[in-house]
Every structure is written in structure tokens, then in C-alpha cells.
Structure 1
Amino acid sequence: MTAALKITDLTRTFAIGKRLFGPPKARVHAVNPMSFEVRAGETLGIVGESGCGKSTLARMLVGLLPPTSGQIEIEGRALDRADPAAFGRLIQYVFQDPVSSLNPRKTIRQIIEAPLRNLHGLHGPALDTRIAELFEAVNLRPEFLSRYPHEFSGGQAQRIGIARALAASPRILILDEPVSALDVSVQAQVLNLLAELKARLNLTYLFISHDLAVVEAVSDRIAVLYFGSLVETGPAEKVFAAPRHPYTKLLADSAPVVGRPLGGAQSGELPDPLNPPSGCAFAGRCPRVSDICRAEVPKLRRIEGDQFAACHHPGEF
């Protein structure tokens, strides 16, 4: 079966300290060579600390940021970076801050119309009908179309953002912290809506979040990123219950749990991106570190079943 999304050796570096002539003073590797597949109809949860490369990866996937190297394929088709519309018709982005992601100078109707006109060429009655269908799909009232983004609550604005993404009729949605800015009760409503839309429209999701409980609840599989690299992947019910990489264990222990004191996880920070360590980037925080960890970068490999880890000393933690 063809994967809904496949990335091969995708990388992104940023120049630091640009000069008028000659090369930059340094380069930061935000995303190291990364390869994985997302099956059609599944939800892949992506987790990791701030600065691990989650948002950079997401922006490359939707064409907002060009990769330094590597390839992106959707349903077996390699995307042409010179054709932004190709990205828009196949993959769309739902942003973290729902209100600021909407143009404050445009009405909601104008915001929803843009992808329908530019990507699908809709006009007249066909345009009106499609807008009504989208608003019904996200449970919003038609009278909202004449209003502006600042007139809505966070939950309503996120529903508008979802409607805008669906207007392109994409195959895949990138959900970048889609509920982190919302109240807990509203989070549940938006998550239920996303689950309903996924089932009805046969969508594929990449769900990025810091909330491990939410990611585990909504995901079929989970990908764990650390310092720009993929360090573990596996079924959602296994990755946090029986982690195979020590960083995954650290993430699980860092999540707040009722009855458990805070600060129980091992301390430490991400390495300096301007002076990355040799070998495994997690070696300075790892309880199982050895000489090989400081000398060789571990490769992602199968550990058991569908669980993969990039670790020289994998095991249950």
C-alpha cells in the first residue's frame, strides 16, 4: 500500500552570522537527515522538547520552508518545491494560535474563499455552497461569515482555521499544537471534531504537541524527536508504556501526573546547536551512556515489533 506521506533524508540547516561575501560564520542543523512514512488514514503523533525540530519539520512538509535536502512524497508523488499550489491541494496546516493565524483585516468569508478560489477555481453558487458545507462540517453558524477574527473565542477561531484547511480538500493535515491555546473543555470539543472529520473525510493527521496525554490518546503511532533527529517510533500504546530510548522515558517522566511530585525526571538541556556533540546528542543526559555513545551517532533500527529506536543500548526503561 502506498504511504500517504513519505519523507526521505529530509534536512534543514540555517545560516548564522551571514557575511556580505563568503560563507556564513556557522550553520545550525535544525533537522538532521530524517526518513519516515505515514500510512493513509492514521494519526502520527510527533513529540519532543522545544527546539527539537518539530515545527521546522512541519513547515517543510507544507511548503512554508524549503528543505536543505531530501524529498517529500504524498501518495507516491514527489512534491515540486517550485509549485506551492501542489502542497496546498494535498497537505494543509492548522496553526497553534487560532486567532493570530487568521488575517485580522479580512472577514471570515474572505478567509475561507481564498483557497476555494485559488486552488479550486470556485465562483458564484458553487462557492457559496462549498462555504456552507465547510461551516456545517465544523459546526459554525452561517452568520459568522460576515464577522472578523477578533470577534471569536479561541475555540471558534480554531474551528474556522480547520474549515480553512479543509477548503483545499487536502489528503493530510498538519496539526501543530492545535488545542494548546484552548481551555480544557474546549480542547475536548476540538479533538472530538478532528476525530469526526478524520473518519468522515478519510484524512491523515500529523499531530504535534507537548501534551503527551493528548498525543497518546489521539495517535496511532508516535515519533519522538530530539535535537533535530528521530530517536524513537512505535505504536502509541507501547512508546510511553515501554519506551526503548532513554529520552522517551525522560519525556514520559516529565509529564505531570496527579499524586506524583514534580521534578522527578532527570535534569538537563538540549546541547548547544552551534557546538553539537560528537556521537549521540543525548549522551550528556543518558543514564546508560558508554564510550561508543560519545563516539558514534546511533542509527534508527528495529528493536521489537513495530518499535524503532536510535540507541546503542536500547531496552525497556
Structure 2
Amino acid sequence: MTTPALRLDTLSKTFPLGRSLFGPERPGVRAVHPITLDVMPGETLGIVGESGCGKSTLARMLVGLIPPTTGTIEIEGAALDNADPAVFGKRIQYVFQDPISSLNPRKTIRQIMEAPLKLLHGMDRAARTTRIAEIFETVSLRADFLDRYPHEFSGGQAQRIGIARALAAEARILILDEPVSALDVSVQAQVLNLLADLKARLGLTYLFISHDLAVVEAVSDRIAVLYFGSVVELGRAEDVFRTPRHPYTKLLADSAPVVGRPLRAPEGAETELPDPLNPPEGCAFRARCPRATDLCRKLVPTLAPADAGHSVACHNPLGG
């Protein structure tokens, strides 16, 4: 049986609110509810959902930027030590949404590239020079870029540098957080093709976070749909948006702009979103769901198989 490249076991995050001036300590905001999930080697798992659904919080836990409240993270069967950031850096790396602002403006590209080689792998200068040349050739960047500063590059070039920096750590898993949303459409295609080529050549595993449903569907093997900090649907990319089982997934698909189709709002302007400071009982989506019943008001649905390779957290799934 193949060991998952990445395993999340009841991983969650609650941000404490502290104590009011004269009152008791306030309950925290649960940004990510317990998530249990396996990502297989060489797989691209797409993660989608509205702003505030917990995507970025989940990504930051995976790379060790913030500690989880509960649960564990395993890479290739080994649990990561939350107290040692270097352990995360060697196993999993982050490619940021805004490529230029993610690079230190005071350092040259050479200095930026050398940092993970020094700190994570202890390479001497000759070894660093050789390794950087190899990585730059892999991502189709010229060697003369190394002595320039981040502001001298276009968005597409800066994102290639960000990808090169992630590869320098020799991590096998990349967290791609909206990696092409800040780029022109033609440049998006170039970066996506580069990522696909790197995945095939180096055997990488991706978690691809994006608001662009068409891009996620095109690049992902499976898709996890997040709502209010929970995975509400999980399945093969070709199934999740073509035959969604959760009403929220269908809402996302209906909301996406399509060439030749008039823009229309799938919900009324009076639609209420859940309050993270006062979460609703039962299903968090019930106030927006046309299929909600009394059971939805009382009981939180859990992720359960709906079809082969397709799971949904809904008491009244579509097509059921």
C-alpha cells in the first residue's frame, strides 16, 4: 500500500480572542475545523472555497508558519515537529500569491536563492553556485538575473523565481497559494505549464489553492471544497464541478464567470454568511441552502462517501 505524501489527521486551528476588560475569557474563532485528509505522491489536490473559508490558514499550518490547535501533519509517514521550522522547510515549501512582494526587495536574487541552500542544507559557496545554476535552468531563467533585485522583474519572471526558491529547499511537496491569480492570462498559462512539467520531471506533489475554478479543475487530480473551515466535498476533479453533490459546490460553479454566459448572482443580496464569532448550530451552510431541513438545523453533517471516490458532508446531497 502506497504511503501518502501528506496526511492530515484531525488538523484544526482556533484563534484565541483573549479576555474582555471585565468579563470572562471569550471563546476563540475556529478558522479550520478538524480535517483528516490524505494526499498521494505525485497528486495535485485543488483546494477551493470563498474568502474566509480557511484555505490560507490551512496552508500556513502545513508549512509551519502557524501551529495547529489540534491534530498532526505527516509527510511520507513521518510526523512533523512543530517546534522545528527547518523540518518543514526540507519537506514542504510555499509558493506565494503575489510573486514580487514575496521576495525580499533588499536582497539580490542570488542572495534569495542562497538562503535555503545555506540554512537548510549547509552548502558551501561552490556547491550553492552549481545548485542555483541547475535550478535556474530547470525553470528557464537566465543566469544574469541572479545579480538583479526583485523590482526589476515582471510578475511572471518573479513567480518563476519564487518557484525556483521553493525547489532550492529540495522539498517534495509545494503549497501553491493562488500562484497565477496576479498574472496576465497568457503568463498564467506559461507558469501552469512550467508547474506541470516540474511535477512530471521531479515527482512533486501539489496542493493548489485558487478562486479560479476553471484553473483548479484543469490542473487538479482531486478537489477539496472548503466552507466555513470544513471540507464539505472531496472527489475527482472531473466529478466535483460537473456533478456536484453539495449545494455549496453547485453555488460556486454557478457563480463562476463563463464566456458567452451573462453574469448573474446565484443568491440574493440579503443572503447572510455565518458569523465566525457566533457560529450557527447544525450545518453552517443551511441559511443559504434551498434543501435545508430541520435535521440541518440540529446536526452538523460529516464527510461521508457519496459515490466511488467522491465524498460529501450534507444531509440532503444533490443527486441523492
**TM-score scaled to structure 2, two decimals?**
0.96
SS at 1:242 equivalent: coil
1:310 aligned to 2:313?
yes
Match of 2:92 in 1: 91
Match of 1:295 in 2: 298
Runs of 4+ in 1 over 3 A off after TM superposition: 17-24
Check conservation: 2:272, 2:287, Cα contact below 8 A: no
Moved more, 266-275 or 79-88: 266-275
Please list, as runs of the form range in 1=range in 2, the aligned pairs for 1:57-96 lying within 5 A after superposition: 57-96=58-97
Report deviation, 1:19: 5.1
Match of 2:5 in 1: 4
Match of 1:260 in 2: 261
Check conservation: 1:107, 1:149, Cα contact below 8 A: yes
1:110 aligned to 2:111?
yes
With over 3 angstroms needed to count, the CA separation of the structure-2 counterparts of 1:77 and 1:259, relative to structure 1, is same
Check conservation: 1:174, 1:206, Cα contact below 8 A: yes
SS at 2:120 equivalent: helix
Report deviation, 1:83: 1.2
SS at 2:131 equivalent: helix
Q: Deviations over 1:181-206 (max 9, x none)?
A: 00000000000000000000000000
Amino acid at match of 2:236: P
Hey, what's the Cα distance between the residues in 1 that align with 2:168 and 2:75? 18
Hey, what's the Cα distance between the residues in 1 that align with 2:40 and 2:245? 22
Hey, what's the Cα distance between the residues in 1 that align with 2:204 and 2:291? 40
SS at 2:181 equivalent: coil
SS at 1:160 equivalent: helix
Please list, as runs of the form range in 1=range in 2, the aligned pairs for 1:273-292 lying within 5 A after superposition: 273-292=276-295
Amino acid at match of 1:309: V
Aligned residues: 317
Quote the RMSD (CA, aligned, Å).
Answer: 1.4
Report deviation, 1:270: 2.7
Report deviation, 1:20: 7.7
Report deviation, 1:23: 6.1
Hey, what's the Cα distance between the residues in 2 that align with 1:21 and 1:185? 56
Structure 2 unpaired stretches of 5+: none
Q: Deviations over 1:51-98 (max 9, x none)?
A: 000000000000001001111000000001111111000000000000
Check conservation: 2:13, 2:69, Cα contact below 8 A: yes
Please list, as runs of the form range in 1=range in 2, the aligned pairs for 1:186-265 lying within 5 A after superposition: 186-265=187-266
Structure 1 unpaired stretches of 5+: none
The percent of aligned pairs where both chains have the same amino acid is 73
Hey, what's the Cα distance between the residues in 2 that align with 1:26 and 1:81? 24
